[in-house]
Amino acid sequence: MANAALSAGPRPGDGYVQSFARGLDVIRSFSAAAPRQTLTDVAARSGLTRAGARRILLTLQALGYVRSDGRHYALTPRILDLGFAYLSSMPIWNLAEPVMERLVDQVKESCSAAVLDGTDIVYVLRVPTRKIMSIGLGVGSRLPAACTSMGRVLLAGLPDTEVEALLRAAPPAAHTRHTLTDPEAVLAKVRQARRQGWCLVNQELEEGLVSLAAPIVNRAGETVAALNISGQANRTPPRQMQELMLPALLAAAADISKRLLA
């Protein structure tokens, strides 16, 4: 869906939109590095005046999204309801998990599902394997689309003009000595993913990490998510990963796509 109705609505400059945006920014100012913040911390991290930050914090507190001992503020678990509203509204969310669990049993590597959000992919489901060195990416984690297998499969679901615009908006950054940073080279990989219906990325995000992805497609033929398996290059060389695991991954992605139609 495009932002067709946007022109008729409020603009980022509107007072109302701005205050709502600031409220959400205050929520996002909490993190592992800042789990409990003073008013001063919140104001600094979200670029607000102390008075503005105070008004928003007290609003969030009145609504039960923030708690305070008078000096420090922290988020409450009620915040999760918001993300849960999104996850449970995804058609694939309930359908995909059992299929992903069977895939993990089969290939003995972790399996994840992600969707595209601008130039990022966002993890929406993850079934970890029990191995040491399993990759710690929980639901809600973001990675750049350009250098990940799920990202390239998701970009392959867009027209080339949109992919080019996204690559211009966020030029691919180097994460390892293998990362493709030339937009043309990334676009070529995206086109290859589109032609072959899957994608392998070899250590472009992290040294040693190899990842294989396939698209999940709805009844309108749109790519709505990507499914991946990731493993360690020193344990399973990329060629072997492709031979051993690609058929199972493609079957799982096709199975989930078929369930979406039902």
Q: Shortest CA distance to 256 belongs to which of 127, 92, 114?
A: 92
* Phi/psi at 41 (5° precision): -60, -50
Name residue 226's beta-bridge partners: 114, 215
C-beta closer to a copy of itself: residue 182 or 222: 222
Helix axes 92-107, 238-261, angle to 10 degrees: 150
* Distance, CA of 104 to CA of 72 (rounded, Å): 42
C-beta closer to a copy of itself: residue 31 or 40: 31
C-beta closer to a copy of itself: residue 137 or 251: 137
Smallest distance from a copy of itself to CB 155, Å: 15
Smallest distance from a copy of itself to CB 26, Å: 10
Report the chain's terminal Cα–Cα distance, integer Å. 22
Smallest distance from a copy of itself to CB 15, Å: 10
Smallest distance from a copy of itself to CB 6, Å: 6
Smallest distance from a copy of itself to CB 55, Å: 7
C-beta closer to a copy of itself: residue 57 or 167: 57
Q: Shortest CA distance to 111 belongs to which of 83, 87, 130?
A: 130
Annotate 65-124 with DSSP letters as a single string.
SEEESSSEEEE-GGGHHHHHHHHHTSTHHHHHHHHHHHHHHHH-SEEEEEEEETTEEEEE
C-beta closer to a copy of itself: residue 122 or 251: 122
